[in-house]
């Protein structure tokens, strides 16, 4: 039986050059396959068949890696505005799309609450949000602070929806049961409201109400 001749390292195909784009693609594979808790620099380095030290040239820590991943996802969003669609409706669609994107990639939804995405797509998101809020009549400071509040709302909503859809979050029935247990003597106002007041409405209806409420506050109050 013929034996296979050893392959010289020089004869092996050269590995693709490292880049931030390649690292993000590998990190996304690890994230989807193994989950956010297993997303480490070492695991991504293994995915790329290299050592962790090579990655630190491009990504200084896992927090930055998560930020780059969120930015990569934003490439799938429509971040344009032609100025014809009313600013409020365009903002509603944009935030809803952002929430939907994070919800699908539930492992990143929680990361989005704690990191500022790095990259051109995040900058495009901020740019179009600034245009929308400036069109609404906000000054520069109000627009900048308003964006922070809107994206916090979107990230928290996405994290909650992702947890429920994956079975790791609490169900609405658990909230109803907790509210129903209120002692009428100790929690008289809560008991008088009843559980239906807190649980009524679809997630989309509740999100639209929340976003409209935020926008009313942002557009009528100045820092």
Q: What is the pLDDT of residue 7?
A: 44
- Per-residue DSSP letter, 57: T
Cα separation, 87 vs 94, in Å, equals 10
Residue found under tokens 């991504």: 44
Is residue 104 over pLDDT 50?
Answer: yes
Cα separation, 211 vs 121, in Å, equals 22
Contact predicate 30/43, CB 8 Å: yes
Q: What is the pLDDT of residue 74?
A: 92
Is residue 108 situated within a structural domain? yes
- Average pLDDT value for the chain: 87
- Enumerate residues 6+ apart whose C-beta is below 8 A from 196: none
Q: What does the pLDDT look like over 160-208, one tens digit per residue?
A: 888 877 666 667 788 888 888 989 999 999 999 888 888 888 888 999 9
Is residue 37 situated within a structural domain? no
The SS3 of residue 2 is coil
Cα separation, 184 vs 199, in Å, equals 19
Instruction: Please tell me the number of Cα atoms within 13 Å of 96 on its side-chain side.
Output: 16
Is residue 67 situated within a structural domain? no
Q: What is the pLDDT of residue 15?
A: 67
Integer angstrom CA distances of residue 38 from 6, 42, 138: 34, 10, 42
Contact predicate 23/59, CB 8 Å: yes
High-pLDDT (> 70) share of the chain, %: 89
Is residue 188 situated within a structural domain? yes
What does the radius of gyration of the chain's CA atoms come to, in whole angstroms? 23
Is residue 100 over pLDDT 80?
Answer: yes
Q: What is the pLDDT of residue 134?
A: 97
Q: Domain range holding 98?
A: 82-170+183-220
Q: What is the pLDDT of residue 213?
A: 95
The SS3 of residue 97 is helix
Number of domains in the chain: 1
Q: What is the pLDDT of residue 168?
A: 65
Q: What is the pLDDT of residue 94?
A: 98
Is residue 72 situated within a structural domain? no
C-alpha triplet 42, 44, 49: angle, nearest 5°: 90
210 against 3, higher pLDDT: 210
Q: What is the pLDDT of residue 9?
A: 45
Lowest mean pLDDT among 120-124, 131-135, 202-206, 209-213: 202-206
Is residue 96 situated within a structural domain? yes
Contact predicate 72/118, CB 8 Å: no
Is residue 153 over pLDDT 80?
Answer: yes
Q: What is the DSSP string of 159-192?
A: HHHHHHHHT-S--HHHHHHHHHT--TTTSHHHHH
CATH number of the domain residue 152 falls in:
1.10.357.10
Q: Report CA 155 to chain centroid distance, whole Å.
A: 5
Q: What is the pLDDT of residue 13?
A: 54
Is residue 29 situated within a structural domain? no
28 against 134, higher pLDDT: 134
High-pLDDT (> 90) share of the chain, %: 53
Is residue 139 over pLDDT 70?
Answer: yes
- Per-residue DSSP letter, 37: G
Q: What is the pLDDT of residue 6?
A: 45
Is residue 5 over pLDDT 70?
Answer: no
Is residue 138 situated within a structural domain? yes
Instruction: Give the other-Cβ count within 10 Å of 102's Cβ.
Output: 26
């Amino acid at each position: 039986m013929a034996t296979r001749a050893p392959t010289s390292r020089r004869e092996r195909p050269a590995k693709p050059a490292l880049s931030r784009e390649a690292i993000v693609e590998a990190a996304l594979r690890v994230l989807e396959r193994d989950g956010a808790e297993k997303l480490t620099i070492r695991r991504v380095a293994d995915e790329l068949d290299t050592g962790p030290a090579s990655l630190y040239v491009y990504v200084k820590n896992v927090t930055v890696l998560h930020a780059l991943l969120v930015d990569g996802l934003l490439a799938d969003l429509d971040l344009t505005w032609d100025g014809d669609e009313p600013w409020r409706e365009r903002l509603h669609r944009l935030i809803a799309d952002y929430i939907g994107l994070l919800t699908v990639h539930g492992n990143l939804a929680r990361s989005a609450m704690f990191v500022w995405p790095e990259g051109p797509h995040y900058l495009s998101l901020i740019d179009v949000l600034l245009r929308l809020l400036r069109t609404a009549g906000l000054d520069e400071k109000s627009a900048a602070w308003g964006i922070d509040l809107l994206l916090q709302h979107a990230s928290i909503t996405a994290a909650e929806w992702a947890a429920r859809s994956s079975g790791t979050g609490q169900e609405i029935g658990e909230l109803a049961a907790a509210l129903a247990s209120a002692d009428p003597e100790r929690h008289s106002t809560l008991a008088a409201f009843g559980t239906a007041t807190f649980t009524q409405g679809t997630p989309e209806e509740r999100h639209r109400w929340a976003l409209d409420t935020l926008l009313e506050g942002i557009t009528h109050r100045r820092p």
